[in-house]
Homo-oligomer: A and B are copies of this chain.
Amino acid sequence: MATTQDRQLVEQWRSIQNSYFRTAAAIDRALEAKFDIGLNEFEILDLVAESVDSACRMKALGERTPMTQSAVSKVVDRLEKAGLVSRATCADDRRSLYLELTDAGRALHSDAAVEHRALLKANLGE
């Protein structure tokens, strides 16, 4: 039995979906076209750029994103392969890794961030 509340819930859900997908797709295309990285790659880059402390961060990253641990690992693979990030072993826990932006990574991030924020504004702000 479809109650009014049910319909409202479904509406709300579809609205979130649309908001999410349309925005994500727009950003992804733009970043891909201009900087040759996908949205997930940028978001990891963004998180790394945000972390001022040099704590061991692979783990911390996993807690700040809805991505799976293994997804994060593969995104970092690509970022590393692209020379934007580097993995460094952790002195106090040799299982852990912390990530650093390379110079190229820092440069790309600061350009891409402008684009990213602008598209967020265009898609969410309005």
Residue ranges of A at the interface with B (Cβ–Cβ < 8 Å): 2, 5-6, 9-10, 12-13, 16-23, 25, 46, 66, 113, 117, 120-121, 124-125
Contact = CB atoms under 8 A, between A and B. Distances in A.
Contact of A124 (B13, B18, B121): B13
A16 B17 contact: no
A117 B12 CA distance: 11
A12 B124 contact: yes
22 contacts: A2-B113, A5-B121, A6-B117, A9-B124, A9-B125, A10-B46, A10-B117, A10-B120, A12-B120, A13-B23, A13-B120, A13-B124, A16-B16, A16-B19, A16-B20, A16-B23, A16-B124, A17-B20, A17-B66, A21-B66, A22-B66, A25-B66
A16 to B, nearest CB: 6
B117 A9 contact: yes
A120 B9 contact: yes
Task: Please give me the 5 A-B residue pairs with the lowest Cβ-Cβ distance, nearest first.
Answer: A21-B66, A9-B120, A20-B20, A6-B117, A13-B120
A8 to B, nearest CB: 9
